[in-house]
Structure 1
C-alpha cells in the first residue's frame, strides 16, 4: 500500500505542478486569458500541499525524487497535451531520472 500511495501522490503532484506551469505558460506565451495564470498559481500551490502528504519525513529526499518525476511527467504532458514528440534522448533521460527516483524512494534504509 505504501508504494501505491507514494506513486499516486507523485502523480497528483506532477499533474498539479506541470498543469499549473502549463496554465501560466498558456496565459503568458499563448495569449490565453489571464485568469488561466490565476488557475495555474492555484495549481502550483496545491502541488506544495500534495508534496507534504508523502510518507517520508525528509523534505530534501521527497523534492529530489519529485525532480525525476517532473522530468518524465513534463515530457509525457507535452506528448498528451501539446503534441510534442520526444526523441530517443528525451526518453533515455527520462528513464535515467526515473531510475534515480526509484533509488531515492525505494531503497531500504536503516531506521533512524
Structure 2
C-alpha cells in the first residue's frame, strides 16, 4: 500500500513538473513556471527512491503503468479531454504489466 501511495505521489509530481515546463515552452507562460516545475521534478525523483524494491530499474518499470494512468487522468481533469476506450484499454494493459513487474517472484 505504501508503494502505491509513493507511486501516485511521484506521478502527480512528475506530471505537474512536466506541465510547468510545457506551459513555459508551449503555452508562452512566464519562465517563473520553471521554478515550481523543477521542484516538482525533484520531489518526483525523491519519492521513487522511497519505493520498497532493491532495484531502481524495477521500481521505474513498475511506476510506468501508474504514470500512464495518471497522465490520462490529467488529460481528463486538467485539460478537459475525456480519455477514450483506446486510452483506457492501454492504461489497463500498462497497469497489468506494472503489477506483474512489481509483484512477480523475482530472483534478485
Q: TM-score, normalised by structure 2?
A: 0.93
Give the distance between the partners of 2:83 and 2:106, measured in 1 at CA.
35
Aligned mates of 1:58, 1:72 — CA distance in 2: 23
- Count, aligned residues: 108
C-alpha separation in 2, matches of 1:16 and 1:29: 19
**How far has the Cα of 1:53 moved from its partner?**
0.2
Give structure 1 regions of 4+ aligned residues with deviation exceeding 4 angstroms. none
What's the TM-score once normalised by structure 1's chain length?
0.89
Taking the aligned partners of 2:32 and 2:18, their CA distance within structure 1 comes to 13
1:107 Cα offset (Å): 2.6
Q: Deviations over 1:57-104 (max 9, x none)?
A: 111100111111111111111111111221111110000000011111
For structure 2, the residue ranges without an aligned partner over 5 or more in a row are none
Q: Which runs of 5+ in 1 are unaligned?
A: none
